Amino acid sequence: MSAFLVLAAALLSRILPIVLHSQSWNFTALGGGLLFFGSRMGGADGKATGKQIALKLAAALALLMATDYYLTVYGYGLAWHTSAYLVTWVWYAAICLIGMGLLQRPGVLRCAAATLASATSFFLLSNGAVWAGGAMYPHTLAGLGTALAMGLPFYRNDLVSTGLTLGVLFGLPALARKIAQAMEAAHGDRMA
């Protein structure tokens, strides 16, 4: 259940800047939320069946697709073209699977690797798709370079927001465990 709450918060971090007419500059909890969600798809004991995992992933993708539709049509006032989102939806699933693989046993290096994988793959995929599928940049190597260069501020913010999200989601519980262990040890010392 906590994984779906984190996913809902991540989706709100995409929707609220649009609804409130502010600019998020791609500073959302989506990458970290998807990685966290993926880390929990196997269940608390890691023994979820393939069918259970597939159902959780399908439910998450349905929520993500609905959010994409809402943002495109109502948030940005653009026409909806399902084909324009297929690559993004595959990315969502891939990031959940990366989270499932890397973050079932989270640690600082695993969280850093997951953050880098999430933000970098989205940066390359989204800017590459804009270059390849649109008329904004010439279909040359220089045009691809320009498309990537224009996406760098968004990439930086995605890296930071994903890292912060994972730091909060995995770091705070780890810190709480350490504090509880220290308090328990201190209490045990006083009792002895």
Give pLDDT tens digits for 26-63. Answer: 688 999 999 999 999 988 777 889 999 999 999 999 99
Per-residue pLDDT of the chain (192 residues; tens, 9 = 90+): 689 999 999 999 999 888 887 766 668 899 999 999 999 998 877 788 999 999 999 999 999 999 999 999 999 899 999 998 999 999 999 999 999 988 778 888 999 999 999 999 999 999 999 899 888 999 999 999 999 999 999 999 999 999 999 999 988 888 888 898 888 888 776 666
**Residue 25 has what pLDDT?**
67
The closest of 162, 155, 187 to 36, measured between CA atoms, is 162
Burial class (CB in 10 A: 0-12, 13-18, 19+), 188: exposed
Tokens of 3: 């994984």
Exposure string of 57-94, with b = 16+ CB inside 10 Å and e = fewer, is beebeebbeebbebbbeebeeeeeeeeebeeeeebbbb
- Close Cβ partners of 48 (under 8 Å, ≥ 6 residues apart): 41, 42, 56
Please give the C-alpha separations between residue 86 and each of 75, 111, 112, 127, in angstroms, as whole numbers. 19, 27, 27, 15
The answer to whether the beta carbons of residues 28 and 161 sit under 8 Å apart is: yes
Q: Give the SS3 label for residue 175.
A: helix
Which pLDDT value is given to residue 48?
Answer: 86
